[in-house]
Structure 1
Amino acid sequence: MLKEFSYKQFGNIEFSMKAFEENTFTSIADHIKILLIPKKAIIQVDFQEFKMETDALLFINPKVIIKPCETINGQLIYFNRDFYCIEIHDQEVACDGILYNNVFEIPFIALDENQSRDIQSIIQEIKSEMNNEDANTEEMLRILLKLIILKSTRIWKQQHQLSENTQHNDVQFLRKFSKLVEQHYKTHHSVADYAELLFVTPKNLSKKISLISKSTPNDIIKDRIILESKRLLAHTKMTVKEIAYSLNYEDDAYFIRFFTKHTGLSPVSFRKQF
């Protein structure tokens, strides 16, 4: 189901292997997505495979590559930036919020039974609303979408023990670091670069990041570079030298050593897998 309001698009489809094999997802590759995944489903996200221990939500920006492996009755909500990201004044629940620009982890939100029923109820309201054609339909869909993001942001904070009002600044700092890495990983490769952008010392940056992640800032930056390398190797025809240059490595031999050290495979060997 798809609704279009001028340049604004909003839709809902089933997330399943059948839909994937029919290339249903190709037309929405550039959309922002929310995925409700049922318990025991198996899904591949950016070359990693996960089996869901509970019902879960996943927030997906257009760069993330997803594939259902063993998934039945998954629900995928998708929308473009014209539909929702105009609300940039709401930093936490906009498309630059922590759920969409999260370099610390793949942002699964595990749901207990009550939370899952709550989210499924909202999705049912979305489906009902998409059958309406009145003047309020667009705004109702936006409100329901925002409700899912608000509830999920609250759950994420609780699960990461960052829900207290006194920790608001910590959440904003983490969000800002995540956004900066997403913006600059191609050109800024050192912890000192990001510490300078955030007006803190590298030591203080590491302390802040430890609130949420066992990885160091250096690991997070390098992992983001590796992820982009994998995406370009698997889904483009760029040469290894071109990929190295696009990531600001002038010496492609150094880039090959860097990639091989972090993945256990050379870039060429990794590409052959796909």
Structure 2
Amino acid sequence: MLKEFSYKQFGKVEFSKLTLQEKSLSSIEDHIKILFIPKKATIQVDFQEFKLDMDTLLFINPKVVLKPCETVAGQLIHFNRDFYCIQIHDQEVACDGILYNNVFEIPFIALNESQSKDVQKIIHDIQTEMEDEDASTEEMLRTLLKFLILKSIRIWKKQHQLADISQDADVQFLRNFSKLVEQHYKTHHRVADYAELLFVTPKNLSKKIGLISKSSPNEIIKDRIILESKRLLVHTTMTVKEIAYSLNYEDDAYFNRFFTKHTGLSPVSFRSQF
């Protein structure tokens, strides 16, 4: 089901292996997405397979490669940036908020029984609103979407022990680091580059990142470069040399060694496998 308001698009589809065999996600690949996945599902996200023991929410930006391996009755909400615009929303609930620009982890939010009921109620209200034709439908859908994102951020903060008001500055710092990595990973490969952009020392940057991640800033930056390499290998016809150059590696032999060290496969072997 898809609603269009001028250039603004908002939709909801069932997300399951069977459904997506019949209908591709390619038509909405440039949309921002929120996915509700029932427990005991298996899903592949950016070439990694996950088995989920609990009902789960996943926040997906347009670049993420998604596949429902063994998923039944999932619910996928999708919208374009015109519908939910970064500029007119608070930083925390924007499309570039911590749930979407999260370089620390794949942003799964496991839901307990009560949280899952609350989330499913919002999704049901979205479905009901989409079935109505009313002058206020667009704004109601946007309100429900923001409500879902806000509720999810609260859960995420509690799960990462960052829910205290005094820690808001830490959350904002983590968001800024994540956003900077997304913006600059192709050209900025050193921790010192990001420390300078954030006006902190590399040591202080590592300490702050340790609040949320077991990985070091250097590992996070390198992981983001590797992820982009995988996406380009699988979804484009670019040569390995062209991919290396696009990621600011002038020596493609060095890039080959770098990729192989981090993945256990050469770029050519990875492309063949996927």
TM-score tier, shorter chain, comes to over 0.9
For the 8 Å contact 2:86–2:96, the answer to whether it is kept is: no
Determine if contact 1:14/1:75 at 8 Å carries over to the other structure.
yes
Alignment partner, residue 176 of structure 1: 176
Structure 2 length normalisation: TM-score? Answer: 0.99
SS of match in other structure, 2:199: coil
> Alpha-carbon deviation of 1:20?
2.1
Counterpart Cα distance in 1 of 2:89 and 2:124: 28
Cα distance in 1 for residues equivalent to 2:259 and 2:242: 14
Which residue of structure 2 lines up, in the alignment, with residue 149 of structure 1?
149
Q: What is aligned with 1:90?
A: 90
Q: Secondary structure at the match of 1:33?
A: strand
Residue 58 of structure 2 is aligned to residue 52 of structure 1: no
1: distance between equivalents of 2:11 and 2:79? Answer: 6
Aligned to 1:108: 108
> Which letter maps to 1:30?
D
Kindly indicate whether the alpha-carbon contact (under 8 Å) linking 1:32 and 1:81 is maintained by their aligned counterparts in 2: yes
Alignment match, 2:260 = 260
CA deviations 1:117-146 (Å, max 9, x no partner) are 000011110000001111100000000000
The match for 1:214 is: 214
In 2, the alpha carbon distance for the partners of 1:246 and 1:267 equals: 15
Show the 5 A alignment for 1:1-274: 1-274=1-274
Q: CA deviation at 1:23?
A: 3.6
Report the alpha carbon displacement of residue 88 of structure 1 after superposing the two structures with TM: 4.1
Instruction: Map Cα deviations across residues 235-265 of structure 1 (whole Å, 9 max, x no partner).
Output: 1110000000000000000000000000010
Deviation at 1:116, TM superposition (A): 0.3
Change (3 A) 1:5 1:86: farther
Aligned residue pairs, count:
274
List gaps (5 residues or longer) in structure 2. none
AA aligned to 1:100 is: Y
Q: Distance in 1 between the 2:209 and 2:52 partners? A: 26
Counterpart secondary structure, 2:82: helix
In structure 2, the residue corresponding to 1:11 is in which secondary structure? strand
Rounded to whole Å, the distance in 2 between the matches of 1:18 and 1:149 is 28
- Measured in 1, the distance between the counterparts of 2:137 and 2:223 equals 41
| Contact in 2 for aligned 1:19/1:25 (Cα 8 Å) | no
One-letter code aligned to 1:101? N
Letter in 2 for 1:64: V
> Which whole-Å CA distance do the structure 2 matches of 1:142 and 1:93 have between them?
12
Cα distance in 1 for residues equivalent to 2:55 and 2:152: 13
Structure 1 residue 24 displacement after superposition? 2.7
Output the aligned Cα RMSD. Answer: 0.8
Q: What amino acid does structure 1 have at the position aligned with 2:148?
A: I
Q: Which amino acid aligns with 1:259?
A: F
TM-score (norm 1): 0.99
1:121-173: CA deviation from partner (whole Å, max 9, x where unpaired): 11110000001111100000000000110000000000000000000000000
- SS in structure 2 at match of 1:34: strand
**Distance (whole Å) between structure 2 residues aligned to residue 266 and residue 169 of structure 1:** 41
Further displaced range: 129-138 or 83-92: 83-92
What residue ranges of structure 1 are gaps of 5+ in the alignment? Answer: none
Question: Cα distance, 1:26 vs. partner?
Answer: 1.1
